Amino acid sequence: MNDDSSVHRIAAVVRKHVSDLPPGTRLPSTRELSRAHGVGPVTVQRAVAALVSEGRIETRPGVGNFVAAPRLSRRRDVSWQAAALGPPRPGVPEQAGSGLRGVPDDTIALHSGYPLPALQAGSLVAAALSRAAKDPAASRPAPSMGIPSLRHIFAAELAGRDGCDVGADDVLVTSGGQAALVAAFRGLARPGDTVVMESPTFWGAIAAAAEAGLTVVPIAARPDGPDPDELERVLTLHRARLVYAQPTWHNPTGAAWSPAARSAVLDVLRDHGAFLVEDDWARDLTLEGRTPAPLVCGDPDGHVVHIRSLTKSMAPGIRVAALVARGPALQRIRASRWAADLYVSPVLQLAAAGVLAAPAWQRHLVRLRRELLGRRDALVAAVREHAPLAELTAVPRGGLSLWVRLPDGTDAGTVAARCLQAGLAVSAGDEWFPAEPDGPFLRLGFAAAPPDQFDRAAGILGRVLDGPQP
Ligand SMILES: Cc1ncc(COP(=O)(O)O)c(C=O)c1O
């Protein structure tokens, strides 16, 4: 009997067997079935896989195979929801930006915004998680502002490194930077208000603003920071009192504001009685030179709401960030945060505190920066050699990606789609613009793929750009 007919025979036997059993009944193991029917384990596994795809068997990895509950025979009719929901909320995309999308294993991942496991603080995180799991606080609700030890560490980090007037009472722990953005926008503005953002900027911030019902007004992102006169004009023209920016290693361009721009923007904020949400997402990701002091350190009076996330430098699974704010602004943001999710998982907070307090954390950061610098240089060289039509807008001194301009008239979305077909994932620039893009761009990340793939990646991009454009 050939292999396929053995698979069919075993599948038929098991199918008949399960039809008489209630859902949830455990089936004999692969070894038992292969012994009982005189066939090899691979044949049994293929028969089981066929029955799984028919919906008769459910496999629970590491536990076994079980009789599945019958599928609903009636097709769902959810058409009533269209009228009940009405039109979608403007500006909130249906799915997260391309950086979070999954791609097949054999695709080179230059699209992703999160570092590969090899660059994460893996063993430190594993040890801290296992210690956290044993802590009695891990199974209790956490304070809504965050666990005190973690808030102290975040405050001490700012005060120690940058001489900032920030205390633990000013710190609110959130589930990553994205949750902090939503809480800040909801806490500082009302639906219909305006938020000013550099253009291009992080797609998650654009989505968070839309989710909070805000209108985004762009101002040009410049290599040294926004033009303070332009910021002044925009705030006046749109009666805005909220600005969002990433002054250090701006994602996607990699720019860092000059000291002059930092102090000029603080002046504008004071003159206008406005807030700045300072998204300091890349504080740990300086590749060359010094990390500039955050704006919050030059602002004792609560104009700056500072967000510092650990997800990129520690591990994406440790979804923990700190939000620093002062005065009623902190109370409003806190209220909006707890209304969304009550408190952040104490297990993750304890683990984050454990990693931050470990002496090896600083060594991890040194290694991470060194590795990222090597990867940045490798990708810059690969793009220059194999994809000369992709013009590097700058060689960033921090962050995780390059921002390249494509020849005028190129459609970045089409280029990204063609690259994907050829085995390379990149992020098309359009999603990074809160209004019309000022040209065709791609973001190429150097942290989520091994550097020995960079030449091949740039080769694919080069060939796509050399080919006929639509
Ligand atoms: C600029 C910027 N801000 C915030 C975030 C959100 O980070 P988190 O993973 O902490 O939610 C990201 C993630 O890509 C980012 O690039």
Residue-wise pLDDT tens digits, 112-147 = 988 999 999 999 999 999 999 999 999 999 999 999
Sign of the CA dihedral 464, 465, 466, 470? Answer: positive
Residue nearest to atom 7 of ligand 1 (CA): 177
CA distance linking residue 311 with residue 218, whole number of Å:
27
Sequence-ordered strand ranges (E) for 355-413 = 391-392, 401-405
Residue 15 has pLDDT above 80, yes or no: yes
- Nearest Cα residue to 306 out of 318, 290, 293, 324: 324
More confident call, 75 vs 127: 127
Residue 19 has pLDDT above 90, yes or no: no
Residue 81: Cβ within 10 Å count: 9
- What's the gap between Cα 429 and its chain centre? 16
Residue 73 has pLDDT above 70, yes or no: no
For 391-453, where are the alpha helices, taking DSSP H only?
412-421
CA distance linking residue 381 with residue 151, whole number of Å:
41
From the number of C-beta atoms within 10 Å of its C-beta (0-12, 13-18, 19+), residue 184 rates as buried
The pLDDT assigned to 200 comes to 97
- Ligand 1: distance of its center to the CA of 293 in Å? 19
Residue nearest to atom 14 of ligand 1 (CA): 113
- Nearest Cα residue to 274 out of 284, 285, 265, 261: 265
Residue 36 has pLDDT above 60, yes or no: yes
Mutating to test ligand 1, I would choose from 281, 307, 320 the residue with most ligand atoms within 8 A of its C-beta, which is 281
* Structure tokens belonging to residue 228: 């303070």
Contacts of residue 360, defined as CB under 8 A and 6 or more positions apart, other chains included, come to 124
Label residue 3 by pLDDT band (50, 70, 90).
Answer: low
* Candidate from 48-62, 302-316, 456-470 with smallest mean pLDDT: 48-62
- Ligand 1: distance of its center to the CA of 179 in Å? 9
Q: Mean per-residue pLDDT for 26-43? A: 88
Residue nearest to atom 13 of ligand 1 (CA): 113
CA distance linking residue 124 with residue 57, whole number of Å:
39
Looking up tokens 């044949």 gives 43
pLDDT tens digits, residue range 210-253?
999 999 999 999 999 999 999 999 999 999 999 999 999 999 99
- Ligand 1: distance of its center to the CA of 67 in Å? 42
Q: Mean per-residue pLDDT for 91-110? A: 81
- Ligand 1: distance of its center to the CA of 325 in Å? 18
Residues with beta carbon inside 6 Å of ligand 1? 113, 176-178, 202, 204, 246, 251, 279, 281, 309, 311, 321
The pLDDT assigned to 138 comes to 95
pTM to 2 decimal places: 0.84
What does the mean pLDDT of the chain come to? 93
Mutating to test ligand 1, I would choose from 309, 323, 341, 431 the residue with most ligand atoms within 8 A of its C-beta, which is 309
